[in-house]
Structure 1
């Protein structure tokens, strides 16, 4: 007899949307195996076509999620790197996929050895809100290039963008190849517990620890792109106003809501006030107005706005000089104008926490050794920036510090390079992707040794006799 229609059903027995899709994609991996080069190129072309066809709706939807976000910032910071990344991968993928010949050991010849790169299987991607296109679709490019099937979980703080991506990707891809799962923190928490073959997370260090702990239950390997306090070191030899303008461009892009934005500036003690004034002067040229300016991005949410406002007021109350470019109507649009903090207390939130907003504290130093000690006293950052015309000085800074990546005499731009890996180190993350490194990160390098027809290695076996002793003498010496 069948179960009564009134019988209670355990919710635990009903798979979630994410569990259902994972089962579907796992079945597809088992049935179809690794996709060919042609199939991977077809998938990349479909993604490229999606971006180009729906460029305007993607830009407009991201802006709606933020409240205000410059169209140029979405195009420059998200769509252009995606298009460049796809074209780079398409150009080189055939070469990356070719098995590599290796040399078998002398004692095991005649034989051949090779390494072939295979798809891992199903890759999960947990994306943040600050660059909801680039940090969702960027990992997708590498995962498709490596031949994987992919599940994406965009941030709930950009719900319109998440819904748009879900609809657009569903038009281009079957659910068993690429699928988007939407929802709040509860969905994200469950997503991180799924039995993926690899999980890529971009977000805060705090949540990164939780994701890694959840993935450990299945021994799921993870790539973590976190954040931290990325320093910008201004050396005395570099023109101060030029450095200030370049740093202002990078710091206030997306209103500072960038994981690799300069988080604090290291400036010679006697130049701190002049540098602060120069940064704000540059900011005023970049953004003549804050309120009503479509080029200046809003803070993503009221909670983040209050956190940043509190950070400024705490620094002011602690005796810091607050230099700011803003106007009275900014608050109504959830905007915080470019702000520089001079002589903030070391225990202030602005110098303890990752800022993730348009606030730049200045930390003063006496000499270059002092500056490097200040950098190394903090956890390894996701990015490091150095402004100097002295190549020996720059090389010294790079050799004596550690960071996920670096740009010299600029900011942010190393992340946009299709042929450079992007990733953190230490508390700023683990693993790198983009380009070849992304292909390798999301592939399994399978080693294969094939014995030749006249291979004699089976003779080196128990009971061990003269042949074994002759081989060991030859390879180990007498």
Structure 2
């Protein structure tokens, strides 16, 4: 369903009412419905891969291999994992019952939340739209997807093809910009998942608060990379480079945002980067077909402003070339950047990579902890003690040691932020849990009633109840036969 004409609060309210009415009939909660929708998504990916790649190329000039590896394959894998595990995920989880409630059984039921809204981002418009939708469907919800208007080709593709593969009465697409998003946010949802920046994240959270709607916010921040002097700098440069410029030319929330290394290692690391970048993208990276472009002129101007800041304009040690007509900025290294520069106080979300130098690598922890908590933090080292210290003392959405970005590809790890970088998490089973309510259930028969739970509360009853509630068999026996209380 594409609501690109006249979509206002009234239209949104009517759509939500219809979705809620359908949800209450229980159709989306059925296992067969969930499986049918997930299979439909797999079929859509298999049949429409060329169209998906073309749309990503139109919006971002995204290389075909990057589109497949970082978006299409990950969504398909999420669908297949959900199909394989869904019966297990839906099965009630048995838990121990209270001794005081014996005989009884206790378990946790994962039930659908209801009507959920997914507002996705432009930088990975296919992945960041459909992976949350996979979780919402697997959990049995009706869902509305609002793709980013900054990636109009992918947004239009969703509106045109998604209804052909899934149940359009319970899974809808709403296209548009600020007005349409505002109309959606005025409605009462059972959960909202938003991917984007912290400014809009605050708007989403404020709107959700009016209805006490829980939110998942996948934001971003400045993801640091600490490179110890004992690292294999050539390997580190390769892995940082592919995580930075091989992820949408740096336009990724988990992309390395800045590097901290020792003064002695910095020149060697710069040389290693130069070698890696020429190997990956050639002597003229603008001619490379493996490097994405900046998404639009606004973001190009924003990145140019960071690069032209007086505090960093003379710090370029590699790259710096730009072409506004082609929305191209070359992979750029900035060395010895002041901490109070613009590029160190804004999320870069582009191909600029500042390098901070310190005397001792341990100083990096204070630099990171003096800033907002990042979505990802990376460490390159052979020192196990430093690794343990880093993991223990750095608060981030996720940490990866001796590589970059791969942690997000694992369906067995939660993906989410902390503090300014977001709240909540998804991926794999975590997606199912995010869009489920964990309902506590206890069931008893009519026998086995304990007189001690009813008034009047005599001293003997109190002793018996203390023994029951303590969970200690010895305390219970003591209460029953009158032994001294056992601590």
**TM-score, with normalisation over the residues of structure 1?**
0.92
RMSD: 2.1
State whether residues 268 and 367 of structure 1, in contact with CA within 8 Å, keep that contact through their aligned partners in structure 2: yes
What is the CA distance between 1:84 and its match in structure 2?
A: 1.5
What is the distance in 2 between the residues matched to 1:336 and 1:248? 15
What is the distance in 2 between the residues matched to 1:87 and 1:341? 42
Are 1:32 and 2:32 an aligned pair?
no
The superposition leaves residues 122-167 of structure 1 with CA deviations (integer Å, 9 ceiling, x where unpaired) of 1100001000000000101111111111101111101121011111
State whether residues 9 and 183 of structure 2, in contact with CA within 8 Å, keep that contact through their aligned partners in structure 1: no
What is the CA distance between 1:15 and its match in structure 2?
A: 4.8
Write out aligned runs for 1:198-277 (5 A): 198-253=191-246, 254-277=248-271
Query: Aligned to 2:38, what secondary structure does the other structure show?
Result: helix
Q: Greater shift after overlay, 183-192 or 454-463?
A: 454-463
What is the CA distance between 1:461 and its match in structure 2?
A: 2.8
State whether residues 81 and 417 of structure 1, in contact with CA within 8 Å, keep that contact through their aligned partners in structure 2: no
2:480 alignment partner in structure 1: none
Write out aligned runs for 1:50-449 (5 A): 50-66=44-60, 68-253=61-246, 254-288=248-282, 289-314=284-309, 318=312, 320-325=314-319, 330-449=323-442
Q: Greater shift after overlay, 273-282 or 454-463?
A: 454-463
State whether residues 308 and 355 of structure 1, in contact with CA within 8 Å, keep that contact through their aligned partners in structure 2: yes
What is the distance in 1 between the residues matched to 2:76 and 2:45? 8
Unaligned regions of 5+ residues in structure 2, if any? 1-5, 476-484
What is the CA distance between 1:472 and its match in structure 2?
A: 2.4
The superposition leaves residues 151-210 of structure 1 with CA deviations (integer Å, 9 ceiling, x where unpaired) of 011111011210111111111223322101111112122322321100000111111111
State whether residues 280 and 338 of structure 1, in contact with CA within 8 Å, keep that contact through their aligned partners in structure 2: no
State whether residues 460 and 467 of structure 1, in contact with CA within 8 Å, keep that contact through their aligned partners in structure 2: no
CA distance 1:257–1:13, change in 2 (3 Å): closer
What is the distance in 1 between the residues matched to 2:466 and 2:134? 51
What is the distance in 2 between the residues matched to 1:186 and 1:365? 47
What is the CA distance between 1:33 and its match in structure 2?
A: 5.2
What is the distance in 1 between the residues matched to 2:427 and 2:313? 43
Query: Aligned to 2:378, what secondary structure does the other structure show?
Result: strand
What is the distance in 1 between the residues matched to 2:34 and 2:312? 56
1:23 alignment partner in structure 2: 17
Are 1:41 and 2:35 an aligned pair?
yes
CA distance 1:274–1:99, change in 2 (3 Å): same
What is the distance in 2 between the residues matched to 1:175 and 1:105? 45
Query: Aligned to 2:245, what secondary structure does the other structure show?
Result: helix
**TM-score, with normalisation over the residues of structure 2?**
0.91
Q: Greater shift after overlay, 49-58 or 369-378?
A: 369-378
What is the CA distance between 1:391 and its match in structure 2?
A: 3.0
Unaligned regions of 5+ residues in structure 1, if any? 1-11
Between the two proteins, the alignment pairs up a number of residues equal to 464
What is the distance in 1 between the residues matched to 2:321 and 2:126? 30
What is the CA distance between 1:344 and its match in structure 2?
A: 2.1
The superposition leaves residues 426-449 of structure 1 with CA deviations (integer Å, 9 ceiling, x where unpaired) of 111111101111111110111111
State whether residues 194 and 218 of structure 2, in contact with CA within 8 Å, keep that contact through their aligned partners in structure 1: yes
State whether residues 200 and 224 of structure 1, in contact with CA within 8 Å, keep that contact through their aligned partners in structure 2: yes
What is the distance in 1 between the residues matched to 2:48 and 2:351? 30
What is the CA distance between 1:347 and its match in structure 2?
A: 1.7
